[in-house]
Chains A and B, each alone.
Chain A
Amino acid sequence: MSEPTDPGRWSDGAGAPPGLAELLTVAKRDVPSEAQLSSVLARVNAVVDAPSPPPSAPASARRFWLVTSGVIVGVGIGAGVYLSRVPTPTGSSVLPSRAPAPLLQAPLDGPASSAALTPPAQAAPAMPTPAPAPPAPSTKKHAATATAVANDAAAAEALLLERARTALASSPAQSLALAQRHAAEFPHGLLVQEREVIAISALRRLGRTAEAAARAARFDARFPKSVHQPKLAVPKHP
């Protein structure tokens, strides 16, 4: 690892005074929890997946604003549904139905994988972004609002799954129930893989091995290259 001319590392005990080497060694283990990482991943996905504003952004934004004001009826249904969900105070169902998150669901070793992160501007289902003010909102504001809304939803997802994960050891039944709640509230969520891992673990802990195996098999088929595969690597049949 070190070049020949590199000094010995204190963190390896080379020349460090007693105590300081230990502190530096401990620092190497100072990594975040899975929940913290999942939360960041969800937020990264939310921003990466945020759709680009359409070319006619000002006009669209004006329409969305008017819909929320109740002035005009019959603008795009997608916009209406979306905006009606935005104010949901509990944080549930904040995200509208939309295309699966590419970051989580694209094959991990697919070609040109960075391109796969860019939501297809034409093919993606409409996910209108509410604009804060009708007159010619800037692209930056448009994107920032989308990001903020998506971040809220991502945080709600991550929180729910963190509760499910925490309950796993003490109450797998509750953990499973929370995972099922996540499935109901975030059917196209950003943490689908993480939810499935928790649900499968909960089923195993409950002794429902056949169900766990079946669910693991479905996971395997749906996410063949998932980084979670090692965690699920158990006999497929009880």
Chain B
Amino acid sequence: MNSGSAPSVRQVFDEHARYIWRALRHLGVAEAEIADVSQEVFITVHKKLSDFEGRSSLRTWLYGICLRVSSDHRRRAYVRRESPAAEPWAEGGPAEDPGPDLEDRATLRALLGVLDPDKRAVLVLYEIEGFTMKEVAEIIECPLQTAYSRLHAGRERLLEAFLAERGASR
């Protein structure tokens, strides 16, 4: 992204859409609904891009939107008494690339499903999306120490689930 000139929504989309999609997947949005939620993220970007002041990086700002939209989506799904992430890999969404890693991808998403949304967000942003913990704290709008605590707790819970899954599969 060129500094000094405001990016267009198209530029933001081209540069970040695939990673936003990936983040939504790991944040628990059901496969069949990721397109809808992604659309909502970029519509929000379209509405707010002119207000982006550059105090944070564009990527951090964008993931903040992603997180809020996915959180709203989860709340709405709860109100509708739906499970927002029930078997996300099994819903036959729009042509997920099967690829050689499909089983591993599905396993990880299932493991992430045991985390509460706060810990899950920190873990996804740090481990998968590659943000620093300072950026993670900025995105989720919490003190840095809180973000560390959530990462620590999230890892413990993920490890428990992983070991349980390993034990069960043997």
Contact = CB atoms under 8 A, between A and B. Distances in A.
Interface of A is mostly: helix
Contacts of A48: 9, 43, 46
Interface size class on chain B is 35 or more
Interface residues of A, number: 48
Interface stretch (A5-13, A122-130, A179-187): A5-13
A27 B26 contact: yes
Interface in A15-64: 17, 19-20, 22-24, 26-33, 35-37, 39-41, 43-44, 47-48
B97 to A, nearest CB: 5
B133 A5 contact: yes
A26 B101 contact: yes
A83 interface: no
Given A26-B101, A26-B105, A44 B14 contact: no
A2 B132 contact: yes
Interface string B28-52: 0000001100110011001001100
Interface stretch (A106-114, A168-176, A213-221): A106-114
Interface of B is mostly: helix
Contacts of A20: 158-159, 162
A29 B101 contact: yes
A22 B151 CA distance: 18
Contacts, number: 139
B55 interface: no
Given A40-B38, A109-B2, A162-B95, A10 B155 contact: yes
Contact of A19 (B14, B50, B162): B162
Top-7 shortest CB links A-B = A113-B8, A23-B108, A32-B21, A31-B18, A26-B104, A11-B127, A26-B101
Interface of A: 1-3, 5-7, 9-11, 17, 19-20, 22-24, 26-33, 35-37, 39-41, 43-44, 47-48, 103-104, 106, 108-117, 162, 227
Interface of B: 2, 5-11, 13-14, 17-19, 21-22, 25-26, 34-35, 38-39, 42-43, 46, 49-50, 94-97, 99, 101, 104-105, 107-108, 111, 126-128, 130, 132-134, 151, 155, 158-159, 162-163, 166
